[in-house]
Amino acid sequence: MTDYGHPITFGVSLDPAADRLDETREMARAATGGLDYLAVQDHPYQPGYLEAWTLISHLVAETDRISFFTDVADLQLRPPTMLAKAAASLSVLTGGRIILGVGGGATADGIEAMGGIRRSGREMVSYTEESIQIMRRALAGGAVEFHSDQHAIGGYTAGPIPPAPVPLWLGSHKPRMLAVTGRHSDGWISPLNIYVPPTEVPAKQQLIDDAARSARRDPQAVRRIYNVIGAIGPFRGGQGLIGETQLWIDTLTEWAVELGFDTFIFWPTTAPRQQLELYAAEIVPAVRQRVGEIRGQR
């Protein structure tokens, strides 16, 4: 049983497909009524997808409260100095509504095809770990210098400084990247529940916690974010969490108080707008209440 005690928050993943922009705009507006986050996946090598930061920059003008994060930005295609600059700039423009979700990159083929460097697994992990350290320095403002086999940053003055610290969340799955998550990140972004099923979560949480302690960090400093694909209602088959409202309430509550997740990002597999309304109106408040009651009884 693991519960790190963070506030329970919720979001929805927005479709970055260029031919669904009108629907994505409507989803963004609708989500501001009851959710905390809008997540945008980053797969720039997909020709039908809009670029993630460009889409977020467009959507922030459509909203006024909800926060955005990249789920997750490909670090191998985005130099950490410029990625931090983009996040800091958007944070200034939005009054602090930006979280920086990053990862080592989905596919080596896709990265290389766009002109990126094909790195081995160990090289990718090293590059990612160093990139997070560089971005954290850059987001704080002031002089940034970093020299290694992976980076040669000769020294520059970073800015603008965001109105509030920009959280750095890391998408990770395998042991070495999970260890980087524990040592350096403000949050673990788990892959979809069909790729990291609940039965595999405790072992991954333990790897993060052990790495955090080895770096003299409190594991509670790391938030835990679960990307949950599925559908709410009387559906049969399909991927992920499928079932009626009560099943969703019971399951997300269990994943919060037993597995340690504090944030759930919904990836609806059907009728996104209708699914979002059900999620925000019925599931989100019920899970918050249930988790609060359980915590109060402990």
Q: The CATH number of the domain where 212 resides is what?
A: 3.20.20.30
Domain that holds residue 41: 9-297
For residue 216, what are its two tokens?
């003299």
2 falls within a domain:
no
174 falls within a domain:
yes
4 falls within a domain:
no
Would you say 138 and 60 are in contact if contact means Cβ atoms under 8 Å apart? Answer: no
- pLDDT tens-digit map of 253-267: 999 999 999 999 999
C-alpha closest to that of 190 among 169, 211, 209, 206: 169
3 falls within a domain:
no
1 falls within a domain:
no
pLDDT of residue 236: 84
Instruction: Judge residue 58's burial from the number of C-beta atoms within 10 Å of its C-beta, 0-12 exposed, 13-18 middle, 19 or more buried.
Output: middle
User: How many domains does the chain divide into?
Assistant: 1
Alpha helices (H) along the chain: 21-31, 52-59, 80-94, 108-113, 121-140, 175-184, 201-214, 245-257, 272-278, 284-297
Q: Which amino acid is at 22?
A: D
pLDDT of residue 107: 80
- pTM to 2 decimal places: 0.97
41 falls within a domain:
yes
End-to-end CA distance of the chain: 12
Would you say 76 and 43 are in contact if contact means Cβ atoms under 8 Å apart? Answer: no
- pLDDT tens-digit map of 166-177: 999 999 999 999
Q: How far is it, in rounded angstroms, from Cα 163 to Cα 93?
A: 9
pLDDT of residue 1: 63
